[in-house]
Amino acid sequence: MSTTTIDRLRDTELSYRATLAGGALSVFLLIALLGLAFPSSIWGNFLAILTSRSTLSSALRLSVPITFAALGGIFSEKAGVVNIGLEGLLIISAFTAVITTAVVGPEMTVVGLPAIWIGFFAGILSSVLFSALFAVVCIRFKADQIIAGLAVWLIALGLAPFAATVYYGGVNTDNLGTTLGTWTIPVLSDIPFFGAFFDADPAVYMMLVAVPASWYVLNRTAFGRHVRASGENPKALDTVGVDVSRVRYAGVLLSGFLAGIGGSALSLGLGQFVGNNQTMVNGKGFIAIVAYLFGNYNPIGAFGASFLFAGLEAAQIRLQQVPGYAIPDSLIQTIPYVTVLVILALVGRTRIPEAAGEHYDTGDDNR
């Protein structure tokens, strides 16, 4: 593909996303105008919900597992390995974090570290181990990456509720009676609306650091250049003496680490693992894939898409609590998912790394 063609595609993608962003902004402005003109209407209530500090706080919290899974997916796929098992990594880390905290004792400390943080790191470790197994199967044994990713999801989906049933007698764990809590920054937390950024779950602060850090690593470091080359042109990377397999292992393991943070934060933020149906993860790993595709593999764009879904999720929860409207709750609950479907339908112009999903043997001309 020529440089001119790539530049033209990039310009088209930017124009396309700018148009979509402009459309979203227009919808928000329309809601704002209707809400201001008719404050007692559903539009007025909806505007009040969208501009509420509690909605912003909920959106930040809900975006944590999606964003971390999306960041992990970016590193893995940029390295050339398609990891659709992000949902499974969120599930297994969410369960492991809670069960470890419960076994240690929620009120206990080990070497000065509270049990809940031991559970947090254990959840990350379990996700990394699952991703390592996935990496070996896909890179060493050249298994189909889509099938292997589905296997990770299905194993986690069955294993976590089963283990909960063995230990607790049901698919849901007991409530720990403690959570990660909130970290409040004095003065800044008192700012109207935006103070929610400074009175949040510890994982929210981690997310706000991880997003720009991931962008920097991918675009401004040698490791990031190796990751991008591994997914675009692994033969060129091999030619300059860099081990392609090692880079891909690193990308997949990093995806497990990041997804593990998201899964641990999800369950420990609630203080419980819920294993009913699709578990408490409930499709967040798959939504993360949509998020990074819509963000065109840019960590900042992926965060924006994740925050959009989380914001709509928070808004629909609040909207269900508004009395006086004959709108079925089941219909309101579909708002964020319909939005994801619309984005998925419009995201076709995302340029996937050329060698993503392809196997590569060092020193072999055939991938």
Helices and strands, counts by H and E, the chain = 14, 4
- In Å, how far from its chain's centre is CA 77? 14
Rank 123-132, 176-185, 299-308 by mean pLDDT and report only the highest: 123-132
Q: How confident is the model at residue 270 (pLDDT cuts 50, 70, 90)?
A: very high
Rounded distance between C-alpha atoms, residue 271 and residue 181, angstroms? 10
Amino acid 332: pLDDT:
65
Q: How many residues does the chain have?
A: 367
Q: What angle do CA 325, 308, 15 make, to 5 degrees?
A: 120
Q: Which two tokens stand for residue 277?
A: 């149906």
Helix (H) or strand (E) holding 110: strand 109-110
Q: How confident is the model at residue 365 (pLDDT cuts 50, 70, 90)?
A: very low
254 touches 75 (CB < 8 A): yes
Q: Which CATH architecture has domain 52-347?
A: Orthogonal Bundle (1.10)
Nearest to 135 by CA among 246, 280, 285, 233: 246
Please report where in the chains the tokens 């979509």 appear, as a residue: 20
Rounded distance between C-alpha atoms, residue 71 and residue 74, angstroms? 5
Residue type, 117: W
- pTM of this prediction? 0.90
Strand partners, 183: 200
- The phi-psi region of residue 105 (left if phi > 0; otherwise alpha if psi is between -120 and 50; otherwise beta) is left
Amino acid 89: pLDDT:
98
pLDDT digits (tens, 9 = 90+) for 44-71: 777 787 888 999 999 999 999 999 999 9
Cβ neighbours around 160 below 10 Å, total: 28
59 touches 237 (CB < 8 A): no
Cβ neighbours around 107 below 10 Å, total: 11
Nearest to 259 by CA among 118, 75, 98, 81: 75
The phi and psi torsions of 184 (rounded to 5 degrees) equal: -110, 130
Judged against a pLDDT cut of 80, whether residue 364 lies above it is answered with no
| Domain residue ranges in the chain | 52-347
Nearest to 255 by CA among 220, 231, 282: 231
Nearest to 297 by CA among 89, 139, 72, 128: 72
289 touches 93 (CB < 8 A): no
pLDDT digits (tens, 9 = 90+) for 158-190: 999 999 999 999 999 999 999 999 999 999 999
Amino acid 286: pLDDT:
93
Give mean pLDDT, residues 88-93.
Answer: 98
Amino acid 268: pLDDT:
96
